[in-house]
Amino acid sequence: MKFLANAGFDLGRMLIQALGIVVIVFLLARVVPGDVVDLKAIEGDLSASQQQEMRTELGLDQPLIVQFGQWSWRALHGDFGDSIRFGRPVGGMVRTALPVTLVFAGLSFVLALVLAIGIAVGAVMTGSRVLRSLVEIVNIWSIALPTFCIGVVGILIFSVWLHWLPVVGSMLLPILIIGIDGAGQIVKPLYEELREAATSTHVRTAHAKGLSPWRITVRHLLPTAVPVALALSGLVLAGLIAGTLTMEVLFGLPGLGSLMLNAIQGRDYPVIQAAILVTAIGLVVVNALTDLLHRMIDPRLSR
């Protein structure tokens, strides 16, 4: 019961957070100078009165609070309205973009965790110099090298020179890039945590029991690192959103990130809001899941 109450409380807190994000973005998007009508005026040659007419038509001249009220009321009913830039239903645009990002982000996330855990565990288990250097290299790699930079080099080598992969639409390269980048962000703290855990008393006990190193790693060392790994995976997730954005732009992946970026550039408020809402809910769900996982793995929390 207490478990459920805690989970419910956390979920509520995270939902409030998601709502907060949506409100902030709603306001911030409108603080940004210019609106979609300005954009349409550039190539569309709209006179001043035509522009005014269009603003009224799109409801952009109403007070913010009214706009927000209307938008949230409809959003609550699952209606995100039409894109004011393209005149398409926003729901459909998000629906087509979402799977791309989900697959991309999901696979990158898994790759990041597998790589980071693999390298960190390997380095701690074997104490191998190569693997320990790998921890440092991957770490510096992710700090110092912007992903778009690696992406450009990757395109040049694998698409243009070697013709192995298409430039547009292929997910393999971006997943690799973001996966390695994500791994780099967590591999060092993970490694340090594991090394710390390797000297902990219960791991020493496991040694005293004469268990094999493999069993000690899997059953005694790894569970200890679970809370840290989960906390760190939140970090990866946050980085993932930035990473997917640049990768989607660079590789022309029609995902949420490029949808959002285009919408910001085009002041397409309904699309910005819907995309942010979906992202925020996604973050909430993933956070809730990691929390749940943590509670499930650690018996001390499951009461």
Partner 1 sequence: MTIAGPRLSRRMFMASTAAVGFSGLLPHVSFAAEPARGGVLRYATLGLDTADPHRHTGSIAVQQIYAEALTSIAADGSVEPFLAESFDISPDGKTYTFHLRDGVTFHNGDVMVADDVVANIERVKSKVTGGWLASAVKLVDTVSAPDARTVVLSMHEPYAPLANLMSELWIISPKSEGWNETIKTPLGTGPFKFGEWQPKVKLVAPAHTTYWRKGMPYLTAVEADLRDDVDKGLALRAGDLDIAYIKPDIAKQLATDPNFKVSPLKDAAWFFVAFNNRKPRKPFDDPRVRQALSYAIDKNAFMKFAAAGGGVVTNQMVLPGNLYFDQATHDADAHTKANLDKAQALLKEAGVDPAKETIEFVSWQETYPQVIVQMVRKLGFKVNHVALDDIGAQKRLGQYDWDMNCMSSGPRADIFLRYVRLMSDGPNPVLWGGIQDPDLDKLIKAAVAEPALDKRKALYLAAWQRVMEKYYVVVLGLSANQIAMRKVVQGYEPGFTWSPNWGSGGVAQTWLAD
Partner 2 sequence: MNALVIRNLVIAKGQRRLVDGVSLTLAKGSTLGIIGESGSGKSLTALAITNLLPDGLSISSTSTIEIDGVALPTHDAHAMRALRGAKIAMVFQDPMACLNPFMRIGTQIDEILAKGVLPRTARTTRIVELLREVDLPDPATLARRYPHELSGGQQQRVMLAMALAGEPDLLIADEPTSALDASVQAEIVALLARLQARRQMAMLIITHDLAVAGALAHDLAVMRAGQIVETGPAQAILNAPQHPYTARLVAARRTLVSEPSDAAHAGHLLVEVTDVAVDYAGRGLFGRPFRAVQGASLRLERGRTLGLLGESGSGKSTLASAVAGLRPIAEGRIRLLGHEMRPGGPALPQALRRRCQVVFQNPHGALNPRLSIARALGEPLGLAGIPHREHAARINAVLRDVGLEAEHAARFPHQLSGGQRQRVCIARALLCEPDVLVCDEVVSALDMTVQVQILQLLKELQKKRGFGMLFIGHDIDVVRWISDEVLVMNKGRIVDRCAAHELGATASRDAYTQRLMAARLSPLAA
Partner 3 sequence: MTLVMPARTDGKARTRFSVRAFLPAAILVFMVAVALAAPWIAPFDPLDQDLLALNQPPGPEHWLGTDHIGRDVFSRLVMGARTTLLVGLGGAFAAFVFGAGFGLVALSLGRVSEAILFGAIDLVRAMPGVLLALLLIVALGEGVGPVTIALGISFAPFFAYVARAIYHREAAKDYVTAAQLFGGDPLHVLRVHLAPNLIGGLVTQAAILLPRCIVTESVLSFLGLGSSPDAPTWGRMVAEASRYIELAPHAILAPVLAIVLLTLSLSFFGDNVRRTLDPLREEAGS
What is the binding site for partner 1 (CB under 8 A)? 33-35, 38-47, 50, 53-54, 57, 83, 85-88, 93, 96, 155-156, 159-160, 163, 165-169, 249-252, 254, 258-259, 261-262, 265-267
Q: Does 224 bind partner 2 (CB under 8 A)?
A: yes
SS3 per residue for the chain: CHHHHHHHHHHHHHHHHHHHHHHHHHHHHHHCCCCHHHHHHHHHCCCHHHHHHHHHHHCCCCCHHHHHHHHHHHHHCCCCCECCCCCCEHHHHHHHHHHHHHHHHHHHHHHHHHHHHHHHHHHHHHCCHHHHHHHHHHHHHHHHCCHHHHHHHHHHHHHHHCCCCCCCCCCHHHHHHHHHHHHHHHHHHHHHHHHHHHCCHHHHHHHHCCCCHHHHHHHHHHHHHHHHHHHHHHHHHHHHHHHHHHHHHHHCCCCHHHHHHHHHHCCCHHHHHHHHHHHHHHHHHHHHHHHHHHHHHCHHHCC
Contact 272/25 with Cβ under 8 angstroms? yes
Which residue from 135, 206, 230, 272 is in contact with partner 2, where contact means CB under 8 A?
206
Using CA atoms, how far apart are residues 227 and 36, in angstroms rounded to an integer?
Answer: 45
Which residues inside 223-242 make contact with partner 3, applying CB under 8 A?
238-239, 241-242
Two structure tokens written together for 296 = 């499930």
Task: State which residue, 206 or 260, has the beta carbon closest to partner 1.
Answer: 260
Task: State which residue, 223 or 254, has the beta carbon closest to partner 1.
Answer: 254
Using CA atoms, how far apart are residues 96 and 102, in angstroms rounded to an integer?
Answer: 11
Q: Does 218 bind partner 3 (CB under 8 A)?
A: no
Which residue from 152, 218, 285, 296 is in contact with partner 3, where contact means CB under 8 A?
152
Task: State which residue, 77 or 300, has the beta carbon closest to partner 2.
Answer: 300
CB of 93 to partner 2, least distance (A): 39
Which residues inside 10-49 make contact with partner 3, applying CB under 8 A?
16-17, 20-21, 24-25, 28-29, 31-33
Q: Does 126 bind partner 2 (CB under 8 A)?
A: no
Query: What would the x/- binding string for partner 2 be over residues 143 to 182, using CB under 8 A?
Result: ----------------------------------------
CB of 143 to partner 3, least distance (A): 5
Q: Does 132 bind partner 2 (CB under 8 A)?
A: no
CB of 133 to partner 1, least distance (A): 33
CB of 83 to partner 1, least distance (A): 7
Contact 104/247 with Cβ under 8 angstroms? yes
- Provide the binding-site residues for partner 3, judged by CB under 8 A: 16-17, 20-21, 24-25, 28-29, 31-33, 124-127, 139-140, 143-149, 152-153, 156, 160, 195, 198-199, 203, 207, 213, 216-217, 221, 238-239, 241-242, 245-246, 249, 260-261, 264, 276, 279-280, 283
